[in-house]
Amino acid sequence: MQAPLVVVNFKTYSSALGEAAQSLAQKMASVSTDARMVAVVSAFDLSKVSAIEGLEVWSQHLDPVSQGSHTGWLEPETAISAGATGTVINHAEHKVSLEHVEKLMAMLPDGFPICACAADVEEARALAKLGPTFIAVEPPELIGGDISVTTADPSIISDTVAVVKQVNPDVRVLCGAGVKNGQDVATAIKLGAEGVLLASGVTKADDAAAVLADLVALI
């Protein structure tokens, strides 16, 4: 297995925007780990956060549009020039069609990671046919909650891994929803995932540096 991923979605929490986003990203970059640390930040913060060394920075969303008359859309080339080195798509809080994902993938440069989110095994199966870099399975009812998917529904992780690998062995599977600590990460990896996608467990933590250290402690 390649280096496991710890992907932190900053969303639009006040504790992860603007100067707070830079501070949190710096804490992520300072964690001593072999894991691949990824900050998924607001488009407004791409430029400043991407200047921090030792950290991958992804966009929270992109749209399959070119530069031109597309008011309000997130155009990929501009995001890349602002420092995005990957993107999340189809998050439970910003669902899109399979066609949207497919068109976006066709526009992105080779080697640009795209992490497509799936609510369940069947959505993961459909996304796997498109061949994104990653699929993150996140039961929406557990997102932001106190119970990790690794405890509440571990079978969705192992089942998603099995289905995705059957459809496309090159797609890597992440899991999320309620992930809070190192044991959650270790369990996810034991179940076949290659990392985690989380948000509030880090972004709303009183001591984000301590939480980040704990997340990678058992890797």
Active-site positions read 91, 138
In the chain, DSSP finds a helix count (H) and a strand count (E) of 10, 8
Query: Does residue 205 sit in helix, strand or coil?
Result: coil
Token code pair at residue 29: 């970059």
Amino acid type, 103: K
Closest by CA position to 57, among listed 38, 75, 37: 38
Residues paired with 88 in a beta bridge: 115
Query: Does residue 191 sit in helix, strand or coil?
Result: coil
CA 8/CA 30 separation, integer angstroms: 14
Residue with tokens 């060394």: 53
Token code pair at residue 25: 């990203």
98-107 and 121-128 are packed helices; what angle lies between their axes, rounded to 10 degrees?
40
First and final C-alpha spacing in the chain: 12
Token code pair at residue 124: 């993961």
